[in-house]
Structure 1
Amino acid sequence: MRIIDLLNKNGIDLNFNVNSKSEAIDRLVDLMNAAGNLNDKKAYKEGILARESLSTTGIGEGIAIPHAKVAAVKKAGLAAAVSKKGVDYDSLDGAPAHLFFMIAAPEGGNDVHLEVLSRLSTILMDESFRQSLINAKDKETFLKLIDKKEREKFDEPAKEKQPSKEGYRVLAVTACPTGIAHTFMAAESLENKAKDLGISIKVETNGSGGAKNVLTKEEIENADCIIIAADKNVEMARFDGKKVIKTKVADGIHKAEELITKAANGNAAIYHHSNGNDNSGSESSDNESIGRKIYKHLMNGVSHMLPFVIGGGLLIALAFLFDNYEIDPSNFGSNTPFAAFLKKTGDISFGFMLPVLAGFIAMSIGDRPALAVGFVGGMIAKDGGSGFLGALAAGFIAGYLVVLLKKLLSYLPASLEGLKPVLLYPLLGILGIGAIMFFLINPPVSAANNALNNFLMSMNSSSKIILGAILGGMMAIDMGGPFNKAAYVFGTAALSSGQFEIMAAVMIGGMVPPLGIALSSTFFKSKYSKRDRQSALTNYIMGLSFITEGAIPFAAADPIRVIPASVAGSAIAGALSMAFGCGLRAPHGGIFVVPVISNPFGFLIALAVGSVVSMFILGIIKKPVVEK
């Protein structure tokens, strides 16, 4: 499918007169609807906003490509707009956006929006083409320019990309976390700059649809240097012994000439994959702080762990919901066959929590050989009583232990290379993590864990209320930032030790900010612009779904008023949740897991009170908005 097939004149605005990101989204959704691509305009907009809450689609270079793949789309389509003055769209490079392409894809489709995104990202890297679109006099010219550029780029014979007899001088791999826009923008930028410099290049794109234009073994052997412009892991073993430059994907877009010149001149170190360090033997301009690296490793473990905890926790909670307490109080949760089935299945899933956490933290640090070592360390923490804290320690220790082993074993003869991943790494790694965990980590961490559990168990009602207020408030301070994540991780850790009230207080604290904003915009309309009121409606859904980030746009626009009001409401809700003895076995779910919360009515009352308090504070302290 071509880009031109998804555009029609009803969905184009060449005089885009908007003043903010929210106005731009509203107008683009209107254009998409006018083009006949939607069957539910409101639901489609909610999909667009949900995608924006993950990360901005203002990809830089004056371009914004908001997109959504939802059931509200009748047929795949594009809306386009041009703003000559520019719009602040929270773009990644901080520059105003001038060109807007909104993509709509039907749910269950064949990922047509990803194909269109890649094509758009590619042709929009041509600055002269962008300027021609911005200066297009009418819609017919705008459409002809796009059609002509797409045909030139994608319909021409691929003769220019054929290597010489000696092969390509430079190879590259581009990849971004989502595998959409930046992956292809970096590839196009590197290809264009190499052509200008007269240097042959081939670029592999690791996009959302898989790797394309894959580098062959022969091409790698004949290349002078390989550029890795990526913000996620790519397959590196194939580049062992070659000169490699590693950098972030944004440098592939903005520093293409510098990278290609450096690669062509051979100004790069040799990469040795056996060292087990993605940065060894290569250069990187992405000098992350130690704290940032630790955070990324931790989140890798947590993200892989959550499905086991959510699925297992909910099944366990359902077992109690469907069981009969009166049959045998001591065996509550397994008295009936169906309840016993739910509980046993949930226990098995929940039991993977700590090994998976440790295993994927370790893998993030030491690559695939560290996975088994981390799993074993996590299981030792689980069985040895050191729990969540022990598993955290096991993950980091296992990862760096394998990195150390790779360095030490790099001095072995090359004939033993094949034995490392199948024998030496698992044998020495598991032996090492076993010794460290059994003799150094488990005893003190288990004692500390028991002390913490005893302290929590011994807390009187007033102390628990204070703890609930603190955790609830933390969830609202930065709404997805370090404070929020710290409280969430603490709540998740408490699940493994049976402290279910803590998780309930944490979740309710994260639900209040978006709900308070939504209620305030409904009942204090004079304090919000019309567009803000429309945007705030989605916060009802986000708040009830435990998506705290829905409040971020409002907090960013008015932090002095929104953040204190949100913290106050969340703290009260967390305190009330503790006071009512609400307990939650799953670390997510929002309103959908209320039936399995202990004292669900108390939880709903606490949520309502906290949200209303936040609403009234916002209604009092926010200034009225004068509509023009």
Structure 2
Amino acid sequence: MGVWSTIKKNLMTGISFMIPVVVAGGILQAIGVAVYGKGISDMEGQTLLWYVWKCGNLGMSLVVPVICASIAYSIADRPGIAPGLILDFVATYINAGFIGGIVAAFMVGYFVLFLKKYLKVPKSMRGLMPVLIIPLLTTLVCGFLFFTVIGKPIAIFIAWLLEILKSMQGSSRFLLGAIIGGMCGFDFGGPLSKTASLFSNGLLVDHVYGPEAVKLVTCMVPPVGLTISCLLAKQKYSRTERDAIKSAFVMGTCMITEGCIPLAMNDPLRVITSSVVATAITGGVTYTLGIENYVTAGGWFIIPLSNKPLLMALMVLMGGVIMGIILALWKKPVEDEDEMDLLNLDNAEAVDIQLETI
């Protein structure tokens, strides 16, 4: 396995552990905010929903420790867990944020591997290596380096990034939203979408909620767009394509965009281009309107937890209409009901093929 593949595998392990924490914490927070607004943070002990909100708030504070510990675990097994957790709290303490936690996790993981390979101890002490010696030395060395050398530049970068994001107005907000949205609409859950998702999730941890709403909206646009296109120009889709669109729409309600891949592979130029155009426009408008969301996944079911649920739903529909009209006008009519072999595959097989080609 190559270096990039190894890094990606470890990072995806961390994200897979992180997502349930973000979803649980984010939903609990969002329930409180949806009822009382952001002022719920000042209502300590005054209402039952404050306790619900506070549970979510505390849960969100665990997001970076979880991803850090799980990445370190993925790299170095159990000896990496304790140093990973501690280094994350160091990253949080110096305001290095989500990115700092990831950097700390990789530093811890590979330092543990270094110690496993090169640190020699008497046979009588080998049992202490995974529970005492390695965690202690790793925390000592990596903690010192992160406090004094590595963490500070990351903290400065995070502060600069957050300041830029908070100061964005008008066209600059539209541009950032369009970039995130276009990435989410390009490969339907592939590497580019995951990069945009990671960026948005990281900002969510740092209490910037707009990019998360952009991600959620634009990940739901392609299935809606394909469905609208099929309704507008049914004669341009074969029977199997129409069945695939039904499946994609159902999956899309839960923000699973991989159901669009068979359609995209059958007509990549038209489907991908119309998707990117629609998601870029929708992402820009979504961010400009100040729509926020506090949960990383859930599709249509978490729209009511947005700060502007009606506008958020409208953005999904707007993006779907844009994509649907472009595709309905551009797509060529079906000439033969005999179809390409790809569309005889089920969605899962098509996803595998698409990921292999990437």
Tell me, yes or no, whether TM beats 0.5: yes
Decide which structure has greater strand share.
1
1:483 counterpart = 2:192: yes
Give the letter aligned to residue 572 of structure 1.
I
Residue 433 of structure 1 deviates from its aligned partner by 2.2
Aligned-partner Cα distance in 1 for 2:52–2:43: 9
Q: Which structure's relative contact order is higher, taking Cα pairs within 8 Å and 6+ residues apart?
A: 2
Residue 441 of structure 1 deviates from its aligned partner by 2.2
- In structure 2, the residue matched to 1:535 is 244
1:564 counterpart = 2:273: yes
Aligned-partner Cα distance in 2 for 1:491–1:618: 28
Render the CA deviation track for 1:388-445: whole Å, top value 9, x for unaligned: 1100101100000101111222x22222111112210121111122112211222111
- In structure 2, the residue matched to 1:348 is 58
Decide which structure has greater helix share.
2
1:362 counterpart = 2:72: yes
Aligned-partner Cα distance in 1 for 2:150–2:213: 30
Whose Rg is larger?
A: 1
CA contact (8 A) 1:323 1:334 kept: no
Higher mean C-alpha displacement, 435-444 vs 591-600: 435-444
Q: TM-score, with normalisation over the residues of structure 2?
A: 0.91
Render the CA deviation track for 1:19-73: whole Å, top value 9, x for unaligned: xxxxxxxxxxxxxxxxxxxxxxxxxxxxxxxxxxxxxxxxxxxxxxxxxxxxxxx
- Pair 1:333–1:531, CA change in 2 (3 A): farther
| Equivalent in 431, 444, 449 of residue 153 of structure 2 | 444
The SS at the match of 1:418 is: helix
Instruction: Show the 5 A alignment for 1:363-512.
Output: 363-409=73-119, 411-512=120-221
Q: TM-score, with normalisation over the residues of structure 1?
A: 0.52
- In structure 2, the residue matched to 1:159 is none
Q: Which runs of 5+ in 2 are unaligned?
A: 338-358
CA contact (8 A) 2:22 2:60 kept: yes
Render the CA deviation track for 1:352-371: whole Å, top value 9, x for unaligned: 10011111111111111111
Give the letter aligned to residue 252 of structure 2.
G
- In structure 2, the residue matched to 1:275 is none
CA contact (8 A) 2:248 2:258 kept: no
- Pair 1:621–1:335, CA change in 2 (3 A): farther
Aligned-partner Cα distance in 2 for 1:612–1:330: 36
Aligned-partner Cα distance in 1 for 2:304–2:183: 25
The structure 1 segments of at least 4 consecutive aligned residues displaced by more than 3 Å after TM superposition are: 329-336
Aligned-partner Cα distance in 2 for 1:570–1:407: 48
Residue 338 of structure 1 deviates from its aligned partner by 1.4
CA contact (8 A) 1:304 1:356 kept: yes
CA contact (8 A) 2:221 2:316 kept: yes
State, as a whole percentage, how many aligned pairs show the same letter.
36
- In structure 2, the residue matched to 1:301 is 14
Q: Which runs of 5+ in 1 are unaligned?
A: 1-287
| Count of residue correspondences | 337
Instruction: Show the 5 A alignment for 1:117-516.
Output: 288-323=1-36, 329=39, 331-332=41-42, 334=44, 336-409=46-119, 411-516=120-225
- After superposition, the CA RMSD in angstroms is 1.5
The SS at the match of 2:293 is: coil
CA contact (8 A) 2:45 2:51 kept: no
- Pair 1:458–1:588, CA change in 2 (3 A): same
- Pair 1:324–1:565, CA change in 2 (3 A): closer
| Equivalent in 594, 598, 602 of residue 303 of structure 2 | 594
1:549 counterpart = 2:262: no
Aligned-partner Cα distance in 2 for 1:576–1:545: 22
Residue 476 of structure 1 deviates from its aligned partner by 1.3
CA contact (8 A) 2:282 2:319 kept: yes
